[in-house]
Chain A
Amino acid sequence: MITLDSLFHNVGLGFSVAYSLSNLLFCFLGVLIGTMIGVLPGIGPAGTIAMLLPVSYRMDPVSAIIMMAGVYYGAQYGGSTTSILLNIPGEAASVVTCLDGYQMARKGRAGAALGMSAFGSFIGGTLSVIGLMLLAPVLVKFSLKFGPAEFFSLMVFGLTMIAYLGSGSLIKSLLMGTAGLFVSTIGMDPVSGIIRFTFGSITLTDGVGFVPVAMGMFGLAEVFQNLEKEFQREIFKTRLRALLPTIKDWIDSRWAIVRGTVVGFSLGMLPGGSTALPTFIVYGLEKRVSKYPEKFGTGVIEGVAAPETANNAATGSAMIPLLCLGIPANVAMAVLLGAFIMHGIQPGPLLMGKHPQLFWGTIASMYVGNVMLLILNLPLIGLWVQILKVPYRLLFPLIILFCFVGSYCLNNNAYDVLIMMIFGIIGYVMRKYHYEGAPFLLALILGPMMETAFRQALIIGDPSIFLKKPICISFLGFALLLLILKPLLTITRWGIQYFKKP
C-alpha cells in the first residue's frame, strides 16, 4: 500500500539529495544549458544530452541525471523566447507559440507574452512534477507484476505509437523503426551469445552504440541541415521592461493554463507524445472553447499561455514511463535512458526500490530546477536575447567539436567517431526525404530489450502466451489498431470513390 507517510518520507529523501550543494550546482548547470539550447534554434535537447554523456562519465550518477533532466525541461522554457521575439521556434514544442506570441510582440506586448510563457511554464512544470510524484509509485507497483511477455507487448505498443504520432508518413516511420531494430541486432546476440552481422569488425562486436548514433542524427545532422538555411536574425525591437502580465492577462489565461497542464501532462506520458504534440492539441482546444476564436493568431494571451504551459507539463510526465517502466517516451528520454545505462543503472520497476536516492532526488530536483528557471527566464531575459547574437559560424564548429570528441571519448575508439559521422550523413539525407530519426533511435535502444523479452517469453511459455495475458492483449491490440486504422480508412475512401463513379 502506498501511504501518505511513505510518500512524505520519499519526498523528504528526494529533497535532501537535491539540496546538496553539488546537485544544486549541476541542476543549475543543466537548466542553464537547457535554456540556452532552447533559445538557439538548430540544436535540440536530445542532441545536447547526447553530447553531455561523455562529460558526465566521471560524475556521480545522481548528479549526472539531475543535470541532464534539467537540460530537457529547461529547453522548453527557452524555446518560447525566439518564438515570441523572432517568430522562429527554438524547439519544435514552441512552434505554436509563434502564432500569438509574435503577434503580441508586434503589438508591443512582448514583455507580457514572455512573462506569461515563463509563468505558465513554471505552473505547468511544477504541477507536472507533483503529478509525477503521485503517479510514479502507483505505476511502479503495477508494473512490478510485468513479465517478459508484458514488457515485449508494451515495447511493441510504444514503438508503434512513436511511429504513429510522428509528423511524417506512417510507412516511412515504420521503415525507420524496422531499420533501427535491425541495427540493434548487430553485435552479440543477448540470448545465445552468437556474434551477428559484424563482418569481422571488433568495434561492432559490442553493437552499434546508440550514443554516436544519437550525436550523429540529432547533433551533426542538425548542423548540416541548418547550414543550408538562412536564418533571419533580426530581433524585434521592443520594450522588454514590463515583463509582468497584467491582472487581465491572468484572468484571461487562467483556464488556458489549467487546460494546458491537463493536456500536457496526460499526453506527455504517451510514447511518442513528445512535448510538441500537446501544444498543437491544446491550442486547438483553446480556440474551440474561446468566446472569440477569430482573434486567435492576432496576439491573444491564451494562445501563448496554453501551449507554453502544456509543453512544460509534458516534461514531468514524460519521465514517468522512463523511471517506472524503463521505456523512453521520446528521443530525449531515450538518450537519458542511455545515461542511466552508462552509469550501470537500469531504469524500470526496480529503480525506485533499488536506487531511491536517484529516483526521488531527480524528481525533487525538478521542483528546484523549475524555480531556478523562473528566475533565469524572467529577470534575465535580456541575456538570452543576447545569446541569439552568437553567430552560427562559431556555434556550429563547436557542436561538431563536441560530437567528435564525445563519440571518441566513449571507448577511446576512432571507429565510434566514424559511426557518428555515418549516422550524421544518414540523418542529413533522411531529413531531406522526410524520414524521422525518432523511431530509428528508439528502436535501436529498445531492440535488444525487446528481443530478449520476446525470446524469454517464448521460453517460459508457448507462442499463445501473448494472447493469454490481458495486459499483453490490450497493448498488442492497440498497436494493431493503430497500424490498420489509417490504411483501413484510406481503403474505405477508395471504395466509396470507386462506387460513386458512374
Chain B
Amino acid sequence: MTSDIFQSLLWLCIGVVVLFLSSKYSMGSLSEPGPGALPFGLGLAFILLSIILFFRSWRSKEPERKKSSLFSSRWPKVFLIIFFLSIITFLLENLGYLISVFLLTAISMSIMDPRRWFSALLLGIFSSFFSYLLFDVWLKIQLPKGLFYFWG
C-alpha cells in the first residue's frame, strides 16, 4: 500500500507546516488560550494521525480494496473542464455574466460529449439567458455586466 504511505507523508508535511504557521501567533495560557493554541494543537493532531496512518499501512498486508488511481480513462475530460472553468473564473468580471456562463455550459457540455456541439451551443444560449433572468432580473443579484456594460 505505497499510496497510503505516500499520503501519510503528505499529511505529516501538512502538520509540520501548520505547526510552523501557528507558532507565529500567541499561544496564551492554559486558562486563556490565545489565537495560536488551537491551530498548534491541530498541527500536533495531523502529525500524530499521519504517524498512525503510516504504521498502519506499513503493517497492513491486505490488498487494496479497489485499485485507486488518480488517472482513470476519462481523467482528461475532468482536467479539461477544470482548466476551462479556471480560465472563465478569472475572466468572469471582464467578460460579464452572459458570455461567461454561455462559455461555461457550452464548453463543459462539448467536453462531455464532443459529437453534440450544436446542442451544446443551444444549451449555452438558453442556460445563460434563463439563469440571467432567474438571478439578475428575478432575484436581483448584481451580476457582472462585463462587455455588456452599456446595458441597463
Identify the A interface with B (CB < 8 A): 54-55, 57-58, 171-172, 174-175, 178-179, 181-182, 185, 189, 191-192, 194, 196-197, 224, 227-228, 392-394, 396-398, 400-401, 404-405, 408-409, 412, 414, 417-418, 421, 424-425, 428-429, 432-434, 451, 454-455, 458-459, 462-463
Contact = CB atoms under 8 A, between A and B. Distances in A.
Which 4 A-B pairs rank lowest in CB-CB distance, beginning with the nearest? A189-B35, A397-B105, A393-B113, A397-B109
Contact of B35 (A191, A227, A393): A191
Most buried by B among A54, A175, A191: A175
B93 A414 contact: yes
Interface residues of B, number: 64
A455 B32 contact: yes
15 contacts: A171-B52, A175-B49, A178-B42, A181-B42, A182-B18, A197-B21, A393-B113, A397-B109, A405-B131, A408-B143, A409-B143, A421-B86, A433-B3, A454-B33, A459-B32
Contacts of A179: 14, 46
Given A182-B43, A404-B101, 9 more contacts: A55-B135, A172-B53, A404-B89, A405-B143, A421-B82, A428-B78, A429-B70, A432-B70, A462-B31
Interface in B12-33: 14, 18, 21, 25-26, 30-33
B135 A227 contact: no
A390 to B, nearest CB: 12
A397 B123 contact: yes
Interface in B83-112: 85-86, 88-90, 92-93, 101, 104-106, 108-109, 112
B25 A196 contact: yes
A211 B131 CA distance: 19
B75 interface: yes
A58 B140 contact: yes
B53 A171 contact: yes
A217 to B, nearest CB: 14
A412 B49 contact: no
Given A181-B42, A454-B38, A401 B104 contact: yes
Nearest to B107: A397
Contact of A178 (B25, B49, B144): B49
A305 to B, nearest CB: 31
Most buried by A among B34, B50, B78, B93: B78
The A interface, classified by DSSP as helix, strand, loop or mixed, is helix
B9 interface: no
Contacts of B140: 58
B90 A414 contact: yes
A401 B86 CA distance: 13
Given A175-B49, A194-B25, A228-B72, A394 B81 contact: no
Contacts of A194: 25-26, 35
A196 B88 CA distance: 30
A295 B78 CA distance: 43
B114 to A, nearest CB: 10
Nearest to A195: B35
A175 B82 contact: no
Given A57-B139, A228-B72, A400-B85, A185 B53 contact: no
B33 A196 contact: no
A367 B113 CA distance: 42
Interface string B105-147: 1101100110010000001000100010011000111111000
Given A181-B42, A396-B112, A455 B33 contact: yes
